[in-house]
Amino acid sequence: MIETAEMNAEKINNQTVPVTVVLVGAGNRTNIYSMYADEHPENLQIVGVVDPDKIRRNKVANKFNVPDEYCFDSIETFANTPKFADAVINGTMDEIHVQTTIPILKAGYDVLLEKPIGTSEKEIMELSNVASYYNRKVMICHVLRYAPFYKEIKRRVLDYDIGEIINIQTAENVSYDHMAVSFVRGKWNSKEKCKSSMLLAKCCHDLDIITWLMSGIKPNRVSSFGGLMHFRPEKAPEGAGKRCLVDCKIENECPYSAQKNYIEQGKWGWYAWRSIQHLGSEPTVEQKIESLKTDNPYGRCVWHSDNDVVDHQSVAIEFENGTTATHNLMGGSAKPCRNIHIIGTKGEIQGCMEDGYFVVRYPDARKGFTFREERVELNVSHDMHGGGDLRLVEDFVNVLQGNEPSISTTSLEDSINGHLIVFAADRANEENRVINLNE
């Protein structure tokens, strides 16, 4: 078939125009989300960057050929510059999500905002009001909704495969190395410093999944129990020192060893070497060891850090229709995993995201049977939040291009209930009472 000039012109006219985005906060999460622009430049282009850290700002500028005039060291400077892109991906730290997003919305940009939305109910409602007033699109980075594991579970729930939901049980086991780098030694180890509890920073994903599966039915009552049980000075094993590579007699056998995790295993480099990034993109082993021995916070003993967030917490939820749900957070497990078990009036769904499959079970009262089971293979397991990260960005681009939102779309309005449960759970735990969300 020979293509005519008219056919070629029609193709050009129907081509999708790439969405242009500014990265605000050139950290780990925006670095991951920007990978979508590497893979699909026809759909997404990075055209600006905002970060007070010149080294990180320049890395983004060099990678995406961002001109100097679109590299900013503050939100104020960026927001006061005439609009030059379609949207912003905001990957700043939790405590400044709302204060950085509001001027972005006022400047005319739609936003993909890293979770959590904010660190208080008041902040979230303020952001919601501003987004509504300026008619801006705000999507929240609840990437688990986009993982094929959870997306297919949602489809099964929507199709009424297991009937009406009676109970949902979820659990997140945070591995020992992740617990140590983020919530004991790292940036989220103190609510006073980062304004986020561990439940908010780590599990607003999981509580969002629960409210998403409930299809808009509001949570009614919340209770919670938890605390800091293990990572405390009095729980330090005999021989533990203050720094792994300075005065620790058990470093060789300790699973939390900074040398083992950050040098020998090469894990968590984005966090562990932040304090020596000025030495170059890849500091030498000698430089890394020296930093762990001196002022690098990631060289501290996990039992002698300044952490104050919980290392385990359980949450119980009652919804307005009578459905109940629980979520268990465990920090320091051997194997990282997220589990889910949903029991409905017609059947149940159970699985572990990292296994890459779940099962659907139905009662079967035939002689010799108790139940029948269907195994649903997803073929995605350990790929960046179960494969959700770049699927989230793809959906954001899709929405900005005027297409229909997917069943996973994490609009601001649809993401609030999970956060309200987190705030209520932390209050319930601190105040030793049941929180009524209707009060």
* Tens-digit pLDDT profile for residues 152-184: 999 999 999 999 999 999 999 999 999 999 999
Name the one residue in this structure whose structure tokens are 């601190």.
Answer: 430
Q: What are phi and psi of 112, to 5 degrees?
A: -105, 110
Which residues contact residue 118 at a Cβ distance below 8 angstroms, ignoring those fewer than 6 apart? Answer: 94, 97, 98, 124, 127, 419
pLDDT of residue 2: 35
pLDDT of residue 274: 87
Strand (E) or helix (H) holding 335: none
What is the arithmetic mean of pLDDT over 106-132?
97
Where along the chain do its domains lie? 5-141, 144-231+307-436, 233-299
Position 13 confidence tier, pLDDT thresholds 50, 70, 90: very low
Instruction: Decide: 256 and 176 in contact? Cβ < 8 Å.
Output: yes
Q: Tell me if 5-141 shares its fold with 144-231+307-436.
A: no
CATH superfamily of 144-231+307-436: Dihydrodipicolinate Reductase; domain 2 (3.30.360.10)
pLDDT of residue 380: 66
| pLDDT tens-place string over residues 193-230 | 899 999 999 999 999 999 999 988 999 999 999 999 99
Closest among 223, 255, 239, 413 to 324, alpha carbons compared: 223
Rounded to whole angstroms, the Cα distance separating 39 from 55 reads 24
Closest among 57, 10, 64 to 34, alpha carbons compared: 64
pLDDT of residue 383: 56
| pLDDT tens-place string over residues 350-395 | 999 999 999 999 999 999 999 999 999 987 655 555 677 899 999 9
Instruction: Decide: 231 and 184 in contact? Cβ < 8 Å.
Output: yes
Q: 5-141: what CATH class?
A: alpha beta
Instruction: Decide: 47 and 66 in contact? Cβ < 8 Å.
Output: yes
What is the arithmetic mean of pLDDT over 35-59?
95
